Amino acid sequence: MNDALLTDTLSVVVRSASIARLPMLDEALFSLACQHWKKLDVVLALQAPSAEFLAAAQATLARQPWRDGVSHQVLAVPAAPGFDARARLLSEGAKAARGEFLAFLDDDDIVYQRGYERLIARLRARPDAVLAVGGTRLAFLDALDDYYFIRRKQDGFFAWGSRRFDLFRDNFIPIHSYVLARARLPADVLRFSDEHVPLEDYEFLLRAATIGPFETSERLFPVAEYRIHPGNTIWDGEATDTAHDSALARARTLIARDQKALRMTITRSEWQELQAALSPPPAPAGQPLAAIAAPEHRFLHRRADTIYRLLDRYPRLSNALGAMVARFRRA
């Protein structure tokens, strides 16, 4: 535990790696300036910024309508050209953060005005929880030249999990949808691994899950938006699948290493269900392995990706499906 942590203060680490995303960074920071939670400590972590990027980011941070008493700082995190330092930005930002509570935000996402207030209330109500999770809406972004806007929003995509050990099947907790209680996590757990990019946030949650329970009662109540646009790594296809498999392999390693710690924090039936979920299904007699269904953890990502791309490409199909659903609800 860090004795220097500021009581009742929420530190938010915002990461950004490109000057081209300054308009989105502006909106992300504005969403923080509008928070009802008054005691904020904002840490803006930039990846190897040029002098122009650094100056522009500092100006963007300074012009927000911050409440009195809000502190903010900019970190210039060094990285070799071409290196993806997103995990390092989070780790360095967490080291510089001073609040009792900690949250993370990417430069292309936003948090709703009372989101943090609601999550901190849940953490206070559950002294055993290491983090509190809220709901996340998908917001689909369109662009016309240098002008962009949100075309539509959708609930429920990140709602397939509810219990902590569901995380070992697949990640249902976006990085900006939770608040951490700093003092409830060992210092060596609060780090992000370069080896697991672009799922460094998932690997962190897997380790946090072996420390204590997650407060998920607010997981369906929207506290943030995940903005979908061509730069999202969640839609990067094969590269994301490879990283996803690596993170799941890490989950199995964690289970083997921290089995005792994990079993102390979940019920026996949950443990048995988790073991069954992570074990490969037995091949039916006479049926080749290739005929076995794909693992459950890949199903939702792939099906959702296909559906979203089809609906985006064919507006008439999207409208027809919407009309059919509306008729079904009225029936």
CATH at residue 229: 3.90.550.10
SS3 of the chain: the string is: CCCCCEEEEEEEEEEECCHHHHHHHHHHHHHHHCCCCCCEEEEEEEECCCHHHHHHHHHHHHCCCCCCCCEEEEEEECCCCCCCCHHHHHHHHHHHCCEEEEEEEECCCEECCCHHHHHHHHHHHCCCCCEEEEEEEEEEEEEECCEEEEEEEECCCCCCCCCHHHHHCCCCCCCCCEEEEHHHCCCCCCCCCHHHCCCHHHHHHHHHCCCCCEEEEEEEEEEEEEEECCCCHHHCCHHHHHHHHHHHHHHHHHHHHCHHHHHCCCCHHHHHHHHHHHCCCCCCCCCCHHHCCCCHHHHHHHHHHHHHHHHHHCHHHHHHHHHHHHHHHHC
Q: How many domains does the chain contain in total? A: 1
> Is the distance from CB of 186 to CB of 199 less than 8 angstroms?
no
pLDDT computed for residue 50 by the predictor: 96
pLDDT computed for residue 146 by the predictor: 74
**Successive 10-residue mean pLDDT values, the chain, 331 residues:** 79 96 95 96 97 97 94 95 93 96 96 96 95 94 82 84 78 94 92 86 88 91 90 52 63 61 63 64 50 42 52 58 53 51
Residue 264 is assigned to a structural domain of this protein: no
pLDDT computed for residue 274 by the predictor: 66
Residue 321 is assigned to a structural domain of this protein: no
Residue 287 is assigned to a structural domain of this protein: no
Residue 250 is assigned to a structural domain of this protein: yes
Residue 289 is assigned to a structural domain of this protein: no
pLDDT computed for residue 329 by the predictor: 43
Q: Which domain holds residue 186?
A: 7-259
Residue 284 is assigned to a structural domain of this protein: no
Residue 271 is assigned to a structural domain of this protein: no
**Antiparallel, parallel or unpaired: β 40-47 and 6-16:** parallel
Residue 67 is assigned to a structural domain of this protein: yes
pLDDT computed for residue 303 by the predictor: 52
pTM: 0.77
